[in-house]
Amino acid sequence: MKARPGPTTRVRIRELAGSGVRDRRDDLATEEPLEIRLIGAGGTRKTVAITMRTPGHDFELAAGFLCGEGLAGPEDIAAIAYCADEDLPPEARYNTVTVRLHGPVPDLPALDRHFLTSSACGVCGAAGLDALHDRCKPIPGGLLRLTPEVLYGLPGTLREAQGVFGKTGGLHAAGLFSATGTLLALREDVGRHNAVDKLVGWAALAERLPLAEHVLMVSGRASYEIMQKALAAGIPAVCAVSAPSSLAVDLAREFGMTLVGFLRGERCNVYAGQERVTV
């Protein structure tokens, strides 16, 4: 039987440096598929997503994905477990998660096509800002205020806490911070959207949603799907090391979110929600 996959995989490589060569071992970020299945109260079963992810925090990933896509909130989830269905080969057990719902499986158009996602692009077609208004409300101004000093400290704190990245150099990270810059939780994954799902799932299962006075910091760029997931979790501010996409900026402005990009050293660009950044 195949062993349960971990977040890193050790391989042998040949390293070239100048005129020198040596054989050694190296750690890679593990990439494995994860299937997310729903079971409704009446016994109805449906696969809603297959994503490529780094193993670890799989239940959080499932819960965060369902929350982010509007398929199920924490109050809808009765239990989450690795799947033991008879149709599943034993070696695939830890790559399939079953989420049991209190009620029926939601009858949504999205379920008719299922979600097939890669570790690179996330679920990009859940579609348009107009569709988001059907299930998400704009985020109120609230009490969150961020100083430039707090913003400048986020990337370094995030990087220092990336344990698996330190071994592999090949993972994205998402961190949840307080308004004073305290790191509350961090998740890593080969997929930047998966890292956010794991973080949102952690908050959902801990009954901490909505995250109305928190900041999301991501190690890559700010894409539409990351902003969508943050919005669903009620996160008012998203910061990224790299650039945002145009649709990410549109979403932030439409729903009253603060979006900060190119946050490196002591500089950044504020693309939306400037009123939350005190200068």
Residue pLDDT, tens place only, 15-49: 898 989 999 998 888 888 999 999 998 888 899 99
Q: What is the pLDDT of residue 125?
A: 41
In this prediction, residue 134 carries a pLDDT of 81
pLDDT for the residue numbered 119: 47
Q: What ranges do the domains of the chain cover?
A: 32-126, 148-276
Q: Which residues contact 122 (CB under 8 A, 6 or more apart)?
A: 191, 192, 193, 223, 225, 226
Beta bridge partners of 50: 35, 116
Facing residues of 32 across strands? 53
- List pLDDT tens digits, range 124-170: 444 467 778 888 889 988 789 999 999 999 999 999 888 766 566 66
Is residue 124 annotated as part of the catalytic site, yes or no?
A: no
To the question of pTM greater than 0.95 for the whole model, the response is: no
Q: Which residues contact 134 (CB under 8 A, 6 or more apart)?
A: none
Choose, from 121, 124, 239, 268, the residue flagged as catalytic: 121
Class of domain 148-276: alpha beta
Distance separating the N- and C-terminal Cα atoms of the chain: 58
- Residue closest to 68 by CA, chosen among 229, 196, 222: 229
Task: Give residue 54's identity as a one-letter amino acid code.
Answer: T
Distance of CA 40 to the CA centre of its chain: 25
Cβ atoms of 164 and 172 within 8 Å: the answer is: no
Give all strands (DSSP E) within 102-191, no chain letters: 115-117, 172-177, 183-189
pLDDT digits (tens, 9 = 90+) for 77-123: 999 999 877 776 766 788 999 999 999 998 765 554 445 554 444 44
- The burial of 68, by beta-carbon neighbours within 10 Å (0-12 exposed, 13-18 middle, 19 or more buried), is given as buried
Q: Residues within the annotated binding site?
A: 262-267
**Which pLDDT belongs to residue 123?**
44
Residue 113 pLDDT: 45
Determine the residue type at 181: G
CA-to-CA distance for 255 and 66, rounded, in angstroms?
20
Tokens of 105: 């499986």
Residue type, 251: L
